[in-house]
Amino acid sequence: MAHTYLSLGSNLSDRLLYLRRAVQHLSSIPDSRLCGISPIYETEPVSPIAQGDFLNLAISFETGLAPEPLLRTLKDAERAAGRTASPRWGPREIDIDILFYDDLDVAFDGLVIPHPEMHLRRFVLAPLADIAPDLVHPRLGLTVRELLQVCPDAHRVQPFELVQGIV
């Protein structure tokens, strides 16, 4: 089983519903299991396109899937949760990204692990720091906590109050 970390985000319609659907779908993937879910954050979009705020969270996930089949499975999970086509950097019902896959530092067709922009995005690092603060980035040699401390992103990232849990 490989240990992976995922980032989930939604900024259209019922954002919480889309996150819940995605988490439910992820929890049903064969030969895989959810290990941890961060608190949810409400975040200002990092985009040149005007759009609403996101809800973001991070997930710790174990899987028997190799990286490329995992990516295909996550794209299926996005569609099952309600994602429709959207422009790059545009608003979306749900987005799921692979941040880390064990300690791999690789590039496949359409997939780079670790995620190439995660160290520049407070909306990714804040939730990830809640569940894996001491995880070391294999290329940068810094922990998630350290990456968050030096992150140049100044966009708003704040805790989102939940009445009930995400699952």
Would you write out the chain's pLDDT as a tens digit for each of its 167 residues? Answer: 999 999 999 999 999 999 999 999 999 999 999 999 999 999 999 998 999 999 999 999 999 999 999 999 999 999 999 999 988 889 999 999 999 999 999 998 889 999 999 999 999 999 999 999 999 999 999 999 999 999 999 999 999 987 666 76
> How many CB atoms within 10 Å of residue 6?
26
- Catalytic hit among 21, 76, 79, 83: 83
Between CA 58 and CA 56 the distance in angstroms is 7
Predicted local distance difference test score (pLDDT) of residue 155: 97
Predicted local distance difference test score (pLDDT) of residue 167: 61
Q: Which string of DSSP letters, residue by residue, matches 89-119?
A: TS--S-EEEEEEETT--EEETTEEES-TTGG
- Catalytic hit among 15, 95, 122, 153: 95
Judge whether 72 counts as a catalytic residue.
no
What's this model's pTM, rounded to 2 decimal places? Answer: 0.96
Judge whether 92 counts as a catalytic residue.
yes
CATH architecture of 2-159: 2-Layer Sandwich (3.30)
